[in-house]
Structure 1
Amino acid sequence: MSFEAAAEHLLATEPRFALGEATVRGQRYKVFRNTPFHLRDLLRDSAAAFDGHDLLVYEQERWDHRAFSAEVCALADALQRELGVRPGERVALAMRNYPELPILILAVAAVGAVAVPMNAWWGEQELAFAVEDCGARLLFADRARRELARGFAGRLGVTVVAVRDAVAEPGDQHYTALRQSGDGAGWPDIAIDTDDDAVVLYSSGSTGHPKGVQLTHRGMISAVYSQAMVHAMAGLMNPPAAPVTRRPSALIVTPLFHVTALNASFLQGLVAGATMTLMYKWDPDQAVRLIEREQVTRFVGVPTQSAELLAAARRQGASLSSLAYIGAGGAKRPAAQVGELARAFPDANVGTGWGMTETNALGIVLSGPDYLAHPDAAGRLNPPLQEMRVVDEHGEPLPPGQVGELAVRSAANMRGYLNQPDATAETLRDGWLLTGDLVRVEEDGLVYIVDRRKSIILRGGENVSCLEVEGALHHHPAVAEAGVFPVPDERLGEAVGAAIYPHAGATVDVAELTAFLGERLARFKIPDHIWVLTGPLPRGATDKIDRRALRAACLEDGRSAVLHAKE
């Protein structure tokens, strides 16, 4: 089936994808009629449907659906009775990828409160800012984050609950004792509105203080079931050669304080009845071993992780034959990587996705033969709830083929930015969310991301896309990672700077690399300055390249190859 035919078939035959309409914050939207109303129901439905199967694996620890649900219920009970958590209250969660994090997110949501997972890569000032910004009086923290909280917990009047390896200090409580004090026999009996906030996720803060993105129960569930529909469509568009009998199993390799891991992996796994193996932090060799041990069928990470997984599998001589899907999100996958992954893992569907924290990770998708045929594309709009348009700088729609800012509209979009009404009004307009991404949409519906609106280099009156230059650099066989950024230039205003990290054992000749780029890019797009790094490019908490840190480090170093041949 085609993409459109598969969507129409499921809408006509699958009751869980049946559509209706609802008014949300004064706007009329398409919604699912038969999905759970809130996250507590989502977990309860999953527990009933998949009782007896493993749900979560962490190192040597395992939870089946019954044990996981009992832990959530016990924590929910203790949150109310021991800590006095009230509906609508925000509870801060600061830890790496421990099992306690998804348990706490669902327990907090189950009592009608709002979970606020904190970026585990933040320093003390950033963590203190977010805790104060969200107004949390409770902070669940692992050892490293408990140490950071020493500097502000007393000043902000925050009670700390020690988690996993953290030591409970005087005045603290410990997660283990709290869990043991709770009753895990029944679900909380608290009314939750589907349009109540469920989670606040903080954006990466690449342009200043991070913004708290308010995500509702309806928004999260709308996104998760929209993604589930696309997964069901994949089986209709590219039917497997033999019936699939293996249970779904996912490896979660990105942080759960990020929307990709939380929504597109963990909550998606609840809907699918998947066994989810949680990694504390990314390690490609360990990932290969876990995929083999747990017979993982689904891998989703940033593009660099796909490349590192492939390299690790080759080192270990592992086929990873259980993989049925290798997805990428958070950044655009280099086009050259698409075919390489498909050849290396012929039984796996290679895919990509675009989404934002503000959209609950819902957005644009592409996989299988369609992706192989269009490796530079971002994909097609994820049905069935979303609308999309491309607008100019005045917000006016543009015709197909023209570059403009992508705007999306659906019930999955955020409610707003916490405590930032001006930023909310600037981003959300009549239900449309302005994404900040510059795209073009072709007549066939394929969306191509040109760049971030604020990541364009203005070189002597010409616009240069960082993503386009990075894509060309990734085609060079010696380049493992590439990052492009503006460099101040007295004559041009901005010049094109690039930092590259070669593959192990490879050497890069800058003149040869420049000639290589000349076959793929216009002269004005070829980098004026190139830095060849001896280590991987710096990355933020969601494993995207940190352009600001990369640019600062390169400009401070100053020792680039300066190119003038193209002038």
Structure 2
Amino acid sequence: MVNERGRTVTATPPAAGGLGDLLRSQALSRGDAPLLRFVGETRSYREVDAQTERLAHVLLNRSIGRGDRVALMLPNGLDYPTAWLALAKLGAIAVPINIGYRSADLAHVLRDSGAKLALTTAELEPRIREVDGALPIETPERLAPELAAAPSTPVPVDGGSGDDLLNLQYTSGTTGFPKACMLSHAYWLNLVVRCRELADLGEDDVCIAAQPFTYMDPQWMAATMIGCGGALEILPRFSASTFWRSVRDSGATFTYLIGTMPLLLLRQPEDPAERDHRLRLVSCSGIVPELHAEFERRWNVPWREAYGMTETGLDLHVPIDDAASVGSGSVGRPALGKEARIVGAGDAPLPDGEAGELVVRGGVMMQGYWNRPEETASTLRGGWLHTGDLAVRAPDGSYRLVGRLKDMVRRGGENVAAQEVEAVIATHPAVATVAVIAVPDELLIEEVKAVVELRDGAVVTAPELHAFAAERLARFKVPRFWAFAGDLPRTPSARVEKHKLDAGREDCWDATAETVR
């Protein structure tokens, strides 16, 4: 089918089916067309479909079936999307785990999800064994002989569809360790439609993904490319020095960049070869408005803001042809099927131009937080999902973010929950209380700072506390700056008054410089 812009699009996601059904359907129509590419290896639609069927058969032999949770702790490559799509065909539920997780956050996710099996690499397996010695673990290497002998015919089970869960996608929360958003097949198929419309994607498109596959972005990119009949180029990791070469060599037409990626790219020496590419659109979130025009000039491609959350999918976006938005800080208008509004006290709607909390509804969003009924009810109240972000609505119906209500640190492209970090540091025997706050940073937007109150008579150094935290938390969550306070300021109800703490870098131990500033 050719759309109104002359681009070929294929396959509307099946209304009653799931992501596995969409892949099967596209394998029939796209056949030997490329679907996944990684470091010189290409797998066609037919090959990905066959490989996911084989893995589904192997997992079925291990009693993995409908509703079972399977932890996926895998680096970027072909193994992650293959496993994810195989689980979709089984009706099982993927539990993506950041490969940077250490003992504390890893143990929480495995315990909270109730994972029945883990798929990981030989290098990462000991880390899982350390926190859960009883959990069955498989690696691609050990499965290889069985996979080679497994049938590539459709697995004989009623796979997932509609409201069946496909992901327990853990995201940083404000009340401690990560909480899992329950994401259904319908959620992902709705994202396929919305993202395909956002970028006007078709069969001749190539999307390039540099983020870790355990994050949302490469997952929705993979699903979207299946839905439009295009191909996904997977990079091992984001590298500012080689990114534009990868874009050129892959023939990519679309990508999504977040966090520090744009700034790191801008800091590279300018090279005319950077403009030799096929990109039609860079979708982005949270770029510096003052640098927006420079991004477009340097790389000769439109950059357009989009806003969404793991909980909600795609909520707001700026159309490709809206050049007037460049530099405005606008994150666009609601996507098709979505509504947004700004609310204040008592969730009362606020007029245009007044800052308040952004709330959204419509489309297909998460079913709630796994094992968190109270937080689900608080977030999904009054028929609206409360984002925790502060925004302003303009008279033209567009939105601009101005702050947040959450106790979070936005470190580059990562959201770090202050309470999660505090909970780990507080287990050190020398620590009485700790407060984690954000420190402004030129590159990462914010850095993590811990202000520690010690127990009476306790003695411990900042480097010792840093090493303690680094053994238990993913690297991006470990505070860079450490300070000590005799008594942290508190409210009458004994809560730490974080707004009274020094958010500067002076008189702190800096883990990067390994010295007191």
The alignment's TM-score, normalised by the length of structure 1, stands at 0.70
SS in 1 for 2:318: strand
Contact 1:57–1:275 under 8 Å retained in 2: yes
The whole-number CA distance in structure 2 between the counterparts of 1:559 and 1:419 is 38
Q: Is the 8 A contact 2:73 2:120 kept in 1?
A: yes
1:48 aligns with 2:1: no
1:106-132 CA distance string (max 9 Å, x none): 101111111111111211221121011
How far apart are residue 230 of structure 1 and its match? 2.5
- For residue 322 of structure 2, give the secondary structure of its aligned residue in structure 1: helix
* Alpha-carbon contact 1:410-1:431 (below 8 Å) kept: no
Q: Give me the whole-angstrom Cα distance separating, in 2, the residues matched to 1:300 and 1:542.
A: 24
- Pairing 1:549–2:479 present: yes
Structure 1 residues 454 and 48, CA gap change in structure 2 (3 angstroms): same
User: Match for residue 197 of structure 1?
Assistant: 165
Tell me, yes or no, if structure 1 residue 103 matches structure 2 residue 74. Answer: no
Identify if the C-alpha distance between structure 1 residues 287 and 495 changes in structure 2 by more than 3 Å, giving closer, same or farther: closer
Counterpart of 1:250, as a letter, is: C
1:345 aligns with 2:302: no
From 198, 206, 209, the equivalent of 1:249 is 206
User: Counterpart of 1:112?
Assistant: 91
Give matches, 1:353-392, under 5 Å.
353-360=306-313, 362-368=314-320, 370-392=322-344
CA distance 1:495–1:302, change in 2 (3 Å): closer
Q: Distance in 2 between matches of 1:434 and 1:110?
A: 32
Secondary structure in 2 matching 1:407: strand
Does residue 128 of structure 1 match 2:128?
Answer: no
Offset at residue 15 of structure 1 (A): 11
When residues 324 and 122 of structure 1 are mapped into structure 2, their CA distance, relative to the original with a 3 A threshold, is: same
Provide the aligned C-alpha RMSD in A.
Answer: 3.5
AA matched with 2:308? G
State yes or no: 1:227 paired with 2:203.
Answer: no
Is residue 346 of structure 2 the alignment partner of residue 397 of structure 1? Answer: no
Deviation at 1:282, TM superposition (A): 1.3
| Within-5 A mapping of 1:204-353 | 204-205=172-173, 208-232=176-200, 247-263=204-220, 265-312=221-268, 314-315=270-271, 317-329=273-285, 332-346=286-300, 348-353=301-306
Matches within 5 A, 1:481-496: none
- Looking at structure 2, the residues matched to 214 and 496 of structure 1 have their Cα atoms a distance apart, in angstroms, of 29
Provide the C-alpha distance between the structure 1 equivalents of 2:295 and 2:505, rounded to a whole number of angstroms.
Answer: 36
Query: 1:510-536 deviations in whole A, cap 9, x for unaligned?
Result: xxxxxxxxxxxxxxxxxxxxxxxxxxx
Taking the aligned partners of 1:15 and 1:500, their CA distance within structure 2 comes to 43
Letter in 2 for 1:118: I
Shift in Å, 1:35: 4.5
Structure-1 separation of matches of 2:19 and 2:171: 22
Structure 2 residue runs without a partner (length 5+)? 419-435, 445-469, 484-502, 510-517
Q: Distance in 1 between matches of 2:129 and 2:68?
A: 23
Distance change in 2, residues 1:400/1:374 (3 Å): farther
Q: In 2, Cα distance between the equivalents of 1:49 and 1:552?
A: 57
In structure 1, the residue corresponding to 2:181 is in which secondary structure?
A: strand
Instruction: Tell me whether 1:83 sits opposite 2:62 in the alignment.
Output: yes
1:123-158 C-alpha deviation (Å, 9 max, x unpaired): 12211210111111200012342120121232xx31
Hey, what's the Cα distance between the residues in 2 that align with 1:542 and 1:356?
21
Higher helix fraction (1 or 2): 1
User: Is residue 391–residue 403 contact of structure 2 (8 Å, CA) maintained in 1?
Assistant: yes
Question: Per the alignment, do residues 308 and 49 of structure 1 end up closer, same or farther by CA in structure 2, a change over 3 Å counting?
Answer: farther
1:35–1:308 distance in 2 versus 1, CA, 3 Å: farther
Aligned length: 438
Tell me which amino acid in the other structure corresponds to 1:499: D
Cα shift at 1:344: 1.7
1:432–1:293: structure 2 CA closer, same or farther, 3 Å change rule? same
Deviation per residue, 1:262-307 (Å, 9 max, x gap): 11x2211112222211112111233223222211111212152234
2-structure distance, mates of 1:542, 1:147: 16
* Distance in 2 separating the partners of 1:252 and 1:410: 27
User: Structure 1: how far apart are the matches of 2:73 and 2:439?
Assistant: 36
TM normalised by structure 2 equals 0.76
SS in 1 for 2:242: helix
User: 5 Å matches for 1:532-543?
Assistant: none
2: CA distance, partners of 1:497 / 1:228: 37
- C-alpha contact (below 8 Å) 1:40/1:110 kept by paired residues: yes
1:172-218 residue CA offsets vs partner (Å, 9 max, x unmatched): xx232342242113354415341111111100356520001110111
3-state SS of paired residue (1:292): helix
